[in-house]
Homo-oligomer: A and B are copies of this chain.
Amino acid sequence: MNTIGDLFRLTTFGESHGPAIGGVIDGCPSGIKIDFDFIDKELQRRTTAQAESASQRVEPDRVEWLSGLLDGVTLGTPIAFIVRNEDARSEDYEAMREVFRPSHADFTYQQKYGIRDWRGGGRASARTTVPVVVAGAIAKQILLQQNIQIKARVLEIGGESDPERIEELLLRCRKGDDSVGGIASCSITGLPAGLGEPMFDKFQACLAKAMFSIPAVKGFEYGDGFKMARMLGSQANDAFGTTPDGRIRPMTNHSGGIQGGITNGEEVFFNVAFKPIPTIGHGNRHDVCALPRALVIVEALAALTVMSFKS
């Protein structure tokens, strides 16, 4: 329910304006020296990517480590960590108590639980991605030691892919007190062949599930994705060939590095569509586009997905 992964498993908890948010990582290999600076930098990517536009609460997000480490080295036991919600001004949200904000989760939480933490989105707040970023940063460190690299970038915002036009669009949104969606593109390189389970735990299936845990995500495609729905087989097929050093590998990569649900050793790449942030019309007290800040979350979830497979 609030857990992702199996062999490498993250359980998260916390409401936006409760005492703290945090997570428990179970199944982390022992003997890993944690790079805490890297984790802090990843957390900063989540908050400051759009510093100029973000009038949103910017907290230091100091991670407090509670267990699973001895002198900064993993013990193999659960790694628990929390981040305090120091800057919580619940009174700012008093108006939310009685209102279902458009396209937020206020209504559905009320329906499901008969009660909700109305302060700043509660459990449905984007703030709940903080533990994902922390755990993802640990996963990335471990993967990097195996030369597996994960990199997300902005593919387009509001349909624009030119940086200058994007900047212009964001400015217009800010002035108009509006927000805008976009698409992130992510690449995983260095993966060994053989990750993924054939039937229901296919590599792409677990990756998709992970991405849809991000509240704003409305679409996911991998390889040539939706474009393949318009292709002929003769255009879409990845024929195998032999490399100069005699290795068999596909000569093209429309498939996106996965066949039959199992990685084939090629680059895995995928796109993730974000809807516009629903909080608008409050006199600029909001971010106009979540996408730049979300890249680190996309990477984190990709890293957690890779770690959850037995290689």
List residues of A whose CB falls within 8 A of some B CB: 1-4, 6-7, 9, 11-15, 18-22, 24, 26-27, 30-31, 64-70, 73, 75-80, 82, 100, 102-105, 107-109, 111-117, 122-124, 128, 156, 158-159, 173, 176, 178-183, 193-194, 196-202, 204-206, 208-213, 215, 218-226, 228-240, 248, 250, 254-256, 258-265, 273-281, 310
Q: A276's contact among B67, B115, B210, B233, by CB below 8 Å, is which?
A: B233
In the bound complex, do residue B108 and residue A259 qualify as a contact, i.e. CB atoms below 8 Å apart? yes
Q: Report Cα–Cα, A58/B18, bound state, in Å.
A: 30
In the bound complex, do residue B64 and residue A19 qualify as a contact, i.e. CB atoms below 8 Å apart? yes
Q: A2's contact among B196, B199, B215, by CB below 8 Å, is which?
A: B199
Residue of B nearest to A217 (CB): B204
Residues of B close to A100: CB separation below 8 A: 240, 248
27 pairs across A/B with beta carbons < 8 Å? A2-B78, A2-B200, A3-B200, A12-B199, A13-B68, A19-B66, A31-B115, A104-B259, A105-B262, A107-B193, A108-B258, A108-B262, A108-B264, A111-B264, A156-B230, A173-B232, A176-B234, A206-B209, A218-B221, A218-B223, A219-B222, A219-B226, A221-B226, A223-B275, A233-B278, A236-B278, A237-B276
In the bound complex, do residue B181 and residue A228 qualify as a contact, i.e. CB atoms below 8 Å apart? yes
Smallest Cβ distance from A169 to chain B, in angstroms?
9
